Amino acid sequence: MTRNDLRNIAIIAHVDHGKTTLVDEMLKQGGIFRENQVVRDRVMDSGALERERGITILSKNTSLFYNGVKINIIDTPGHADFGGEVERVLQMVDGVLLLVDAFEGPMPQTRFVLERALALGHTIIVVVNKVDRPDARPEEIEDEVLELLLDLDASEEQLQSTFVYCSGREGTASLDYSDLGDNLIPLFNEIIEKVPAPKGDSELPMQMLVSSIDYNEYVGRIAIGRIKQGTIKQGQEVVVTNYHGDQTPRRGKVVNLYQIDGLTRDAVDSAQFGDIVCVSGVENITIGDTICAPDAPEPLPFVKISEPTIEMTFSVNDSPFAGREGKYVTSRQLRDRLFKELLKDVSLRVSETDTTESFNVAGRGEMHLSILIETMRREGYELQVSTPRVLFHEENGKRMEPVERVTIDVPEECVGSVMEKMGTRKGQLVEMHPTGNRMRLEFLIPSRGLFGYRSEFLTDTKGEGILNTIFEGYEEYKGEIPTRQVGSLVAYETGTAVTYGLFNAQERGTLFIPAQTEVYEGMIIGSNPKAEDLVVNVCKTKHLTNTRASGSDDSLRLTPPRVMSLEESLEFISDDELVEVTPESIRLRKKILNNQQRAKITHRK
């Protein structure tokens, strides 16, 4: 049987190529919103962090109707740290819209996701977005995409992919890049013509693969997936199995059944093969499980979720200012929150340490973990985090480490400094070619070689460089990589930083704090250009005398401080330092706060 009333598609693209904006326009033109409804931009990016950073973190499901056909659309993340999300989502669809920027062309993440989609045999529709850009080069982009498809061993059919030229912002599409078009109808027509309708049999025993998980305080875990065959009904008894045999089959019950309609979930009594549904009520369900009919518990094959590559230690805040700004400050609250995150983020690993005060948290990259820290901070948690560490593993007696493929796009005059920095960090140049008046460089570099590089990179390229990374695989340990070249300016005593003290300290390096900031002994208040730590007294006030010299009352001028973001702080700290994160502040500190104690340990070393 074929369901001609349904199409399932995913939108895949590199970060910032305009997926979410295009989905907005598709929903508007698909009649999901009322005529007079006020709709904000990027309606699919529902999280506050997603909207601020302009990135999609979790894949989102939506649907629209066109000519009596329901089109289920899945908007996927474009950032490499959330690649695990994309791989799983591709299992739910029959075709993909490959979105490519009309100037940048295919980027590392495009390659990674496209490879997965081709391997699953999906139909590809190439959408060249932002064709209204003044620097758009649609003809060249077409060649680049075809080269990429050849490179990834696409089938004959996949090489015949249709090209649609769009402007997501304007909501227009056409099959000819010289014509902008008036609306998205050409794109809708291509989806209905080219993407295969779901095939299956509603009479066979029910099977549904869980590809995504949502979490709700009231009903617990909600499994999202596509029904492979059969029909699922609300209140039905089911059996949950797993292809990799991680657990013994267990029984459960479908308490609630929803289908996605536009941006809402509508409760339904039943759904059949091809439908993407949300199921609640089945306990401890996870991604990769198959929900089956009790009389035929047959698990569906599923790609194992890729392992984390980076680890950090999250611990209870024990600084002198602990408990002042946060709502949740105890180790029990921290532990509960981290284990709760595991319910919806399957790429995360949390393990206990020797003490009850700290936990090792492993993820797919710095971005993955920094978003978790930022989310917790906004919820009112206080914690301390260590510098990121790479997870090594043994293979045939050799020590293996994760390696990233880095694509760097910089103005030509900056190539020298980038090559030099990448060389010292054990980066290996694999490709280099000009695009316009810029150069595109591709390196393979150990993950640890990138720690702390992004802020240096922005300085070296005067903010004009673009750096993208993607996990390549594991290679043999590449040897020592020199860590940061600067030291820290450390506060000498607890008190309030005053202008006079800061004025004297700023001669030694760059300050991170303004005047009137409360500091404590051992807190890092700036960086020192030499690779050693300096203890400075920023609370020191001017010694008063009873004579007034001419000019002594002239105001002292302070250079504006460099305010560190969470990511910059994590990149800056070295192994003996921590980042203290509270809802109101981000502070850097030494692990050992007492200056004399720290000096003794350094002297011993």
Interval 66-101: pLDDT, tens: 888 888 888 766 444 444 556 677 888 889 888 888
Q: How far is CA 199 from CA 155, 229, 268, 361, 364, in A?
A: 21, 9, 21, 42, 35
Q: Say how far apart CA 427 and CA 421 lie, in whole Å.
A: 8
Q: What's the start-to-end Cα distance of the chain, in Å?
A: 73
Residue 336 assigned ligand-binding role: no
* Residues 6+ away with beta carbon under 8 Å from 84: 305, 306, 346, 347, 364
Give the pLDDT of residue 518.
Answer: 92
Closest among 396, 387, 420 to 475, alpha carbons compared: 396
Q: Is 275 annotated to bind ligand?
A: no
Distance, CA of 375 to chain centre: 13
Q: Please, where in the chain does CATH 3.40.50.300 lie?
A: 6-194
Strand (E) or helix (H) holding 366: helix 366-378
pLDDT range class, residue 17, cuts 50, 70, 90: low
CATH number corresponding to 310-390: 3.30.70.870
17 is in an annotated binding site: yes
Taking CB atoms within 8 Å and a gap of at least 24, the contacts of 475-479 are: 475/400, 475/401, 475/403, 475/444, 475/446, 476/398, 476/399, 476/400, 476/401, 477/392, 477/398, 477/399, 477/400, 477/401, 478/401, 478/426, 478/446, 478/449, 479/426
Cα-to-chain-centroid distance, residue 462: 25
Q: Can you name the residues that pair with 435 across neighbouring β-strands? A: 438
93 is in an annotated binding site: no
- Mean of the pLDDT values across residues 240-262? 80
User: Which tokens belong to 326?
Assistant: 């946060």
In this structure, CATH architecture of domain 207-292: Beta Barrel (2.40)
Model confidence at 45: pLDDT above 70: no
20 labeled part of a ligand binding site: yes
- The CATH 3.30.70.870 domain(s) of the chain lie at 310-390
pLDDT at 261: 79
274 marked as binding residue: no
Does the annotation place 132 within a ligand binding site? Answer: yes
| Alpha helices, DSSP H, located in 395-461 | 415-424, 453-460
| Average pLDDT over all residues of the chain | 82
Least confident of 113-117, 324-328, 503-507, 520-524: 113-117
Backbone dihedral angles phi then psi of residue 220, each to the nearest 5 degrees: 80, -145
CATH number assigned to the domain covering 487-544+555-604: 2.40.50.250
- pLDDT higher than threshold 60 for residue 529: yes
Give the residue range(s) of CATH 2.40.30.10 domains in the chain. Answer: 207-292
Angstrom distance (rounded) from CA 64 to CA 509: 57
Residue 95 known to bind ligand: no
CATH T-level topology, domain 6-194? Rossmann fold (3.40.50)
Domain with CATH 2.40.50.250 in the chain: 487-544+555-604
Q: Is 60 annotated as a binding residue?
A: no
In this structure, the number of other CB atoms found within 10 A of the CB of residue 397 comes to 5
The pLDDT confidence band at residue 12, using thresholds 50, 70 and 90, is: confident
pLDDT digits (tens, 9 = 90+) for 97-109: 888 888 888 876 6
The verdict on whether residue 14 carries a ligand-binding annotation is no
Query: How far apart, in Å, are the Cα atoms of 460 and each of 362, 418, 509?
Result: 30, 7, 19
pLDDT, tens digit (0-9, with 9 covering 90-100), for 213-227: 777 777 778 888 888
Measured CA to CA, the distance from residue 389 to residue 310 in angstroms comes to 6
- Domain 393-476's class? alpha beta
pLDDT at 330: 92
pLDDT digits (tens, 9 = 90+) for 543-564: 766 655 545 444 678 889 988 8
- Nearest alpha-carbon partner for 122 in 238, 7, 269: 7
